[in-house]
């Protein structure tokens, strides 16, 4: 399993492979170590370890999404639209439809080829190579809950120094 996360100590983006055989996550920038909780990975029916919760923060809520750079997907659509505008201006009707159809086809093919990855609602850590069926797709309500929790924590943190002054 492969993880990409933001180090809680120095905020550097850390990528690490073979998480299932490690006992701790280590930041490559500041060497901070995050011990992997014993209950975080549980072996599934096929013996492969399955993620039960986030390894970086205490959250047990993660969502499944395509491990696909969103910018690339948008880029393909924009390029297809731009190209079709050019052919449209040239009155190349067939070419215009071929480009639009091709663009849609590339997106569909990529969607099915790209593997799923798990993302933590709370800290944004991403896990790929986990065959987990424990977690569902993105849920706006859960996302909103975590966003509000984070906002509250930040507000508390910003109030604290004022109370001491
Ligand atoms: Zn760090
Ligand atoms: Zn997390």
- Identify whether residues 96 and 121 lie together within a single domain: no
Same domain, yes or no: 74 and 41: no
Count of domains for the chain = 2
pLDDT-derived band of residue 66, with 50, 70 and 90 as boundaries?
Answer: confident
Give 71 Cα–ligand 2 centroid separation in angstroms: 23
Residue partners of 76: CB distance under 8 A and separation at least 6:
103, 106, 107, 110
87 near 95, Cβ under 8 Å?
yes
What Cα–Cα distance (Å) separates residue 26 from each residue in 3, 30, 38, 89?
11, 9, 16, 55
Give the pLDDT confidence of 71-102 residue by residue, as tens digits: 888 899 899 999 999 999 999 999 999 999 99
Q: Are residues 107 and 56 in the same domain?
A: no
Token readout for 24 is 């701790």
Ligand 1 centroid vs 109 CA: distance in angstroms?
37
pLDDT score recorded for residue 161: 66
Q: Say whether both 79 and 138 belong to one domain.
A: no
| DSSP structure class, residue 42 | E
Ligand nearest the Cα of residue 56 is 2
**CA 122–ligand 2 middle distance (angstroms):** 5
Most confident range (mean pLDDT) of 19-23, 25-29, 42-46 is 25-29
Cα 5 to averaged position of ligand 1 atoms, centre (Å): 10
Q: Which residue bears the tokens 């905020």? A: 11
**Domain identity same for 9 and 44:** yes
Question: How many angstroms separate the alpha carbon of residue 93 from the centre of ligand 2?
Answer: 49
One domain for residues 59 and 16: yes
Q: What is the pLDDT of residue 4?
A: 95
CA of 155 relative to ligand 2 center, distance in Å: 20
Q: How far apart are CA 85 and CA 60, in angstroms?
A: 46
Q: 102: domain range?
A: 70-112
Determine the Cα–Cα distance for residues 38 and 59; give it in Å rounded to an integer.
Answer: 15
Helix, coil or strand: residue 134: coil
């Amino acid at each position: 399993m492969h993880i990409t996360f933001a180090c809680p100590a120095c905020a550097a983006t850390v990528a690490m492979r073979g998480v299932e055989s490690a006992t701790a996550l280590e930041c490559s920038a500041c060497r901070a170590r995050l011990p992997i909780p014993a209950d975080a990975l549980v072996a599934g029916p096929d013996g492969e370890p399955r993620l039960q919760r986030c390894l970086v923060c205490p959250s047990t809520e993660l969502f499944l999404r395509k491990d696909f750079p969103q910018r690339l997907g948008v880029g393909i659509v924009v390029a297809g639209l731009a190209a079709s505008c050019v052919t449209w201006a040239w009155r190349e009707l067939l070419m215009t439809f071929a480009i639009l159809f091709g663009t849609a086809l590339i997106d569909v093919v990529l969607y099915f080829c790209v593997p799923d990855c798990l993302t933590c609602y709370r800290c944004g850590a991403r896990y790929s190579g986990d065959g987990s069926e424990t977690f569902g797709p993105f849920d706006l309500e859960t996302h909103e809950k975590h966003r509000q929790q984070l906002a509250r924590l930040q507000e508390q943190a910003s109030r604290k120094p004022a109370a001491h002054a």
